[in-house]
Amino acid sequence: MTSAALFQHLVFACGLALLSAATVRLMIAFPILDHPNHRSAHVRPTPRGGGVGVVLAFIAGMLVLYRVADQARIAERPFLGVILAAVAIAAVALVDDMRGLSARLRFGAQLAAALVAVASGLAVSRLAIPYVGPVELGLAGTLLTIFWILGCTNAVNFMDGLDGLVGGTLLIACAALTAIAALQGGGFVYAAALFLTAGLLGFLPFNLHPARIFMGDVGSQFAGFMLAVLAIAASRFDVTQLSFLIVPLLLFALLFDTAFTLLRRAAMGDKVGAPHRSHLYQMAQRAGMDTRLVAATHWGFAAFHAALALLFLRLPPNGKPLVVLPALLVQLLWLALVARRVRRAGLSWRDDAVAPSGSGG
């Protein structure tokens, strides 16, 4: 990529960021209010649905890409279908933000979108095992892809419960993915990650503590789904499809918190699907850690994971999967720190109080 082209892309991204910011300001002026209750982390009615800015910036970018770009055209069947599915998820989530929909309907929309992605040809078809080599997955690859898309979509959504945490984490992750895709020559991944970065850049200043607006399900589910799909698209960076690990690595802190919380609740006999406020980030904040510090800690995790992802590109195939070990170690240290603070604060991990999904605050 030439420096002139890079400059043009950055200028265009700045325009998308301004579009996102303008949309978020409109969502604040004509709000969908999230009213606090005894379960909420915020204390005053706050608008939600700020993720509409992220969605519109992404759609605008894709429309321009379709009209003028010489590379990564979204007319390619897999990507066109996926983009339409992502927009459908965002539309359902926006209605949920406005009126509230059943969990079954929300999950049905996510599953339908995942099936569209698989039917369009986006699936993990092989798994490279260190010292063994690539293993063809067949039907298992399709099931793994569906599980990954649903898991990533909901992990991002579940983690959107504190001012600036998910918005900042995704901004760093998407910026890193943009750079990695540029280095690897992944045209569509580069463009999509750049547009997401721009949309998040326009949204985040309004979501910093104390938040003027929350992302809402419309933003968190849309971003989670698109990043899940970009992970599959990024697997094409190499013949062994090990590059699939790049996006999970960038989102490792969000995925770890979600997986740990679900497994812990299952082990304690709690209803795994019941709303709660016992994620690690929530327990840290409830145990007295400043909201800004919790968010900044997750931004630090994202920056660390971005550095690991760049290291990943330079490692030999057998060493690439091992790059997750430093990320896992850091999360285990974070878990130990939070557990210590929870114990000192006299809090219980078994908390059945409902936390609104995607409240962002």
| Per-residue pLDDT at 35 | 52
CB 305 within 8 A of CB 327: yes
- b/e for 124-149, b at 16 or more Cβ within 10 A? bbbbbeeeeeeeebeeebbebbbebb
Q: Please say if the pLDDT value at position 110 is more than 70.
A: yes
* 92-103: pLDDT as tens digits: 999 998 888 888
Q: Which residue has the higher pLDDT, 185 or 127?
A: 185
Q: Tell me the C-alpha distance between 282 and 361, whole Å.
A: 10
Q: Please say if the pLDDT value at position 276 is more than 70.
A: yes
Mean local confidence (pLDDT), 50-59: 96
Q: Which of 127-141, 224-238, 270-284 is the least confident region?
A: 127-141
| Per-residue pLDDT at 14 | 97
Please provide the distance, in angstroms rounded to a whole number, between the alpha carbons at the two ends of the chain: 40
Q: What would the two tokens of residue 159 be?
A: 């983690």
Q: Mean pLDDT for the chain? A: 88
DSSP secondary structure, 93-157, as one string = HHHHHHH---HHHHHHHHHHHHHHHHHTT----EEEETTTEEEE-THHHHHHHHHHHHHHHHHHH
Q: Tell me the C-alpha distance between 331 and 254, whole Å.
A: 10
Q: Which of 73-82, 129-138, 268-277 is the least confident region?
A: 73-82
Q: Please say if the pLDDT value at position 67 is more than 80.
A: no
- List Cβ neighbours of 267 (8 Å cut-off, separation of 6 or more): none
Q: Tell me the C-alpha distance between 81 and 78, whole Å.
A: 6
Q: What would the two tokens of residue 303 be?
A: 């920056």
| Per-residue pLDDT at 360 | 47
Determine if the pTM surpasses 0.85: yes
Identify any residues that bridge with 33 across adjacent strands, giving them in sequence order: 47
Residue entry with tokens 């057998």: 318
C-alpha distances in angstroms, 229 versus 112, 114, 150?
A: 14, 9, 10
